Amino acid sequence: MKKIVLAIFLIVAVACEQNKIGFVDNVKLMDGYQEKIDIEARYKIKAEALNKKRDSISQAFQIEAQAFQTKAQSMPETQAQEEYGVLQQRGQFIGQQLQQEEQQMQSEGQIEMDSLISKVKKEINGYGKSNGFTYILSGGDGGSVLYGTDTKDLTQDILKILNEQYKN
């Protein structure tokens, strides 16, 4: 009899324990996070500057190539081929330098975004612990929440915390 009462008590105790579950729409969270918006704006400016530089260098190189073509008509063929080879090598070198700059910029941007995502995950983790959540699920595109009531959506709460921290 004591074992039956104890078993029922344990079943009731386990059944009464509820998991506190919420979810965060990652897309809305990241789209509204001011630090992410600022990072994207900064890299957009860098990309535009790099494109202007590329256009300017390309234009100057095209003018130089056109001048060479005019000059090459009055040169001996072997000398023209030699100078054309040098011009071609310079063009390839310039192209490689610009490509390296672009790759470096993309790499820096990816590192910054990875750091930002890590910061967001830590904040969600901290929010969950301090507010007694057992689980906080990922919603939005690619998330694991197919449906959730608005009362379980923590996106705006966490977004507010992140943006306040970023202001400070």
Q: In which band, very low, low, confident or very high, does the pLDDT at 12 lie, cut at 50, 70 and 90?
A: very low
Q: What is the mean pLDDT of the chain?
A: 86
Q: For the beta carbon of residue 98, count every other beta carbon within 10 angstroms.
A: 16
The whole-model pTM stands at 0.74
Return the pLDDT at 54: 93
Burial of 14 (0-12, 13-18, 19+ CB in 10 A): exposed
pLDDT of 161 reads 92
Q: What pLDDT is stored for residue 15 in this prediction?
A: 44
pLDDT of residue 49: 94
Q: Tell me: pLDDT of 123 over 70.
A: yes
pLDDT at residue 47, rounded to an integer = 94
Q: Give residue limits of the domains in the chain.
A: 19-167
Grouping H, G, I as helix, E, B as strand and the rest as coil, residue 111 is: helix
